[in-house]
Amino acid sequence: MTKGDKRSGQFKYLLGKSWLKLQGWEFEGELPPQGKFILICAPHTSNWDFVYLLAVMFMLRIRVSWLAKHTMFKQPFGRFLRWLGGISVDRRSSHGVVNQIAELFSKHEHLIIALAPENTRRKTDRWKSGFYHIACKAQVPLLLGYADYAKKRAGTGLSFLPSGDAKKDMDTIRAFYQDFRGANPEQASTIVLKEEQYGR
């Protein structure tokens, strides 16, 4: 790491810490020992969730990637979006999104991808299951991140490697998130996967 990287990391840390303190929020949590994992961001009910997630990333001194449609990466914005951590995903590919991202994990020693399983700020009857299938396929842990507006705290908590038993693993996730409240609790989606409702 260069001196410039260290100064940038320290600046971001202080920025994240100052933002949370200014808002009266507290930071909690730490990173798992693995260099690659999927960071779950929930509950997602407000655009402000991204700001608090960013503050947590700065305080943890990590670079987090995120997924977006390949069409967003056309010039002139492609290079900028990649600089921000964007990863282009082609949903038309016969290889499938899950396989694309699992392959990406296999090629990198360090890779953190942030996903909001609700996929929207509006209330839905279930979470999108892509995050779970990617973690199982790539054999990487899930790190559960949160922004709890009721108690003004943001950070990371439980980290675990999914077993492949969706019901068992989602029970663990539901137990973790049951006491956290989003900015608009009435818009929080039901924490359940389609695979649990209808089977594989």
The total number of structural domains in the chain stands at 1
The answer to whether 146 and 157 have CB atoms below 8 angstroms apart is yes
| Rounded Cα gap, residues 49 and 72, in angstroms | 22
- Give tens-digit pLDDT for 125-176: 899 999 999 999 999 999 999 999 999 999 999 999 999 999 999 999 999 9
User: Encoding tokens for residue 35?
Assistant: 């260099």
Residue 42: name the closest of 57, 32, 52 by CA: 52
Measured CA to CA, the distance from residue 188 to residue 115 in angstroms comes to: 16
Query: 11-68: per-residue pLDDT in tens?
Result: 888 988 999 999 999 998 888 888 899 999 999 999 898 888 888 888 888 888 877 7
pLDDT, tens only, 84-99: 677 767 666 545 889 8
Query: Which residue, chain included where needed, has tokens 């082609």?
Result: 90
Positive or negative: CA dihedral 125, 157, 115, 172: negative
Give the pLDDT band of residue 195 (cuts 50, 70, 90): confident
Q: What is the pTM of this model?
A: 0.85
Torsion angle, alpha carbons of 76, 110, 48, 83, to 10? -20
Helical packing angle, 48-60 and 3-22, nearest 10°: 130
Tell me which residue range forms the domain holding 55: 3-198
d(CA 161, CA 173): 12
